[in-house]
Amino acid sequence: MSQESKTAGAQYASYLRLLPQSIVEANHRRAQPHAQKVADAFTTSFAEGVCPICKNALASYTKAAPCLHWLLKPEGFEKDDFRRIAERYSLAQIELFMRRVANQEAFAKNINNMADEGTGKLVELTAKYKNFEWAISCAKSDYDGHGNTEESRQAHYHFQMRIDGKRFIDYSDYHLPLHHSDILTMEAMRLAPGKIKRNYAGGEGMDIVFKKDVVENLLAQDDGGDMLNATHIIERKGMDAGAFLDQLRAAKAEGRPLMDVVRGVEDAKVTTLVEPGPGVVHQAVRQGRGRRVVKDDLPE
């Protein structure tokens, strides 16, 4: 199954490589309105307590009908029920559901898939909603298949779930099979980089926030709030540090963007170091743990 799916992905990649990038971008733009419409419907349904997938109540549980809203642990849902979710839904479907649910509570900061906070795996994502935290991990060795069991020898991924910070499902509990669509897409992305763009309308994460233009916009608005931690390094001969700090305090008290003060210093070189703020969910990596500083040199 895995090899057949990889072969199909390689064939798709061969087709994609022949497409001009302008056509790829145009196709993506055409798909965006529909994706946003689906995301908006998801938000409306979720707010009403109805599952956007099966149309039943989010609190409902029917053992014979696995659904993605089981990730919210309705009464009756048990740990091994996740296997049935993974059998019915692809990794991509599970990830998009996690992302969209996480964004019902706050935009982007509850979804951490930043490469600088991961360990270099093909898929590394942590999403949080209220007292739930879900994480997905798929290393190259998982994708290629490894180990001594039938499940581990097939292309697979790992899943973790925490409730109130307590263990419910561990990464090591299951080797969850990647679906044909997952493998086909991942293989095509590997062989034809830049030709496939995943559409996460309604499920945008911190990876899109940590782009220079977005960082600049956030800092210009309100210094990033709890989404970003910014340290401004200002170099200018003869600068009165005390007076500058007074200006920053005054701007904060008046609700004015601190970057206005920073960039208002004449003849100065300004470097801003940015890292995830305290409001950003930590990435639940499978090995090690570290939060790395992301640097952006903002214009003076």
In the block, residue with structure tokens 């409730």: 163
* Alpha carbon 100 to chain centroid, angstroms: 10
The confidence score (pLDDT) of residue 297 equals 37
Query: What b/e string do you get for 167-195 counting C-beta neighbours within 10 Å, with b at 16 or more?
Result: ebbebebbbbbbbbebbbbbbbbbbbeeb
User: In angstroms, what CA-CA distances link 202 with 5, 94, 133, 280?
Assistant: 28, 14, 18, 17
Radius of gyration of the chain (CA): 22
The confidence score (pLDDT) of residue 296 equals 35
The confidence score (pLDDT) of residue 8 equals 96
Sign of the dihedral defined by the CA atoms of residues 109, 114, 119, 125, in that order: positive
**Model confidence, pTM:** 0.81
Q: Nearest-CA neighbor of 76 among 65, 86, 87?
A: 65
The confidence score (pLDDT) of residue 258 equals 65
For each of the chain's 300 residues, which pLDDT tens digit applies? 689 999 999 999 999 999 999 999 999 999 999 999 999 999 999 999 999 999 999 999 999 999 999 999 999 999 999 999 999 999 999 999 999 999 999 988 999 988 878 888 999 999 999 999 999 999 999 999 987 788 888 999 999 999 999 999 999 999 999 999 999 999 999 999 989 988 899 999 988 877 766 776 766 665 566 777 666 556 666 666 677 667 767 877 777 766 667 666 666 666 666 677 788 898 887 763 344 333 333 333
